[in-house]
Amino acid sequence: MRGEAYGPKYWTFISEELPALARSFFPLAEERELNYVAGLSMGGYGAMKLALSHPDRFAAAASLSGALDISYRALNFPDDFKLIYEDVSKIKGSENDLFYLAEQLSGATRQSPKLYQCCGTEDFLYEDNIRFRDYCRELGLNLTYEEEQGEHEWGYWDRKIQNVLNWLPFPARS
C-alpha cells in the first residue's frame, strides 16, 4: 500500500522527484547532515514520514501541529482519507503509519534523524501529537517536544517556526 489509491503519485513526487528536480536547479547539498524537512498540519505528517522513511537522507525533521496519528485519523474520519489510502483499515502497521516507522527505526543500527514536534494545546490534533510524542519517547528516539496555548492556525505556526530554525542543526559557518 503506497498511499496513492487514486490520482497522481504524490509520495513519489515529494520523496524522489522533487528533491532531484530541486538539485538540478539549485546547488543543494546531498549530504544527510545538511538536509532537513519540516511541515505543518498534514505537511507535518509528510515531513515526519519522509525523515522516518529515509533516515539516510535527513538529519532532522520538524512537525508543527502535525496529523501524526494518521491511522487514528483515517479510522475515525474515513471519508477524509479513503481517496488517499483506499482501505483505511490497512494503514496501521504500514509504511504510512508514523508509529510503525518510528518503531522500525528504533531497532535499526542506522542513525535516526533528530525530531522536533510542537502543537498548541487547543489544536484539534493535540491528542494525536501527545500519542506520537509518548511513543517516540518510549522508543528512545531523539525528540524535542514543545507545546503551549495555541490553535491550528497561522499565528501559532508563525511563532513556532523560529523555534524550529533555532533547533535545526545547521553547521557552523566559518
pLDDT confidence band for 3 (50 / 70 / 90): very low
Mean pLDDT of 112-133: 97
Residue with the larger pLDDT of the pair 9 and 22: 22
Collapsing DSSP to helix, strand or coil, 169 comes out as: coil
CB 48 within 8 A of CB 61: yes
What would the pLDDT profile of 126-171 be if each residue is shown by its tens digit?
999 999 999 999 999 999 999 999 999 999 999 999 999 999 989 8
Whether 99 contacts 129, CB under 8 Å: no
Looking at residue 23, what is its pLDDT? Answer: 94
* 28-75 residue pLDDT tens: 999 999 999 999 999 999 999 999 999 999 999 999 999 998 776 666
Contacts of 2 (CB under 8 A, 6+ apart): 9, 11, 12, 95
What is the pTM (predicted TM-score) of this model? 0.88
Q: State the Cα–Cα distance between residues 39 and 125, nearest whole angstrom.
A: 14
> Residue 81: what pLDDT?
61
CA–CA dist 55, 52 (Å, integer)? 6
The architecture (CATH level 2) of 37-167 comes to 3-Layer(aba) Sandwich (3.40)
Residues in CB range of 90: below 8 A, 6 or more apart: 1
- Is 37 buried (19+), middle (13-18) or exposed (0-12) by CB count in 10 A? buried
Half-sphere exposure of 10 (CA within 13 A, CB side): 10
HSE of 46 in the Cβ direction (CA atoms, 13 Å)? 14
User: What's the 3-state SS for 57-89?
Assistant: CCCEEEEECCCCCHHHHHHHCHHHHHHHHCCHH
Mean pLDDT, range 81-101, rounded to an integer = 76
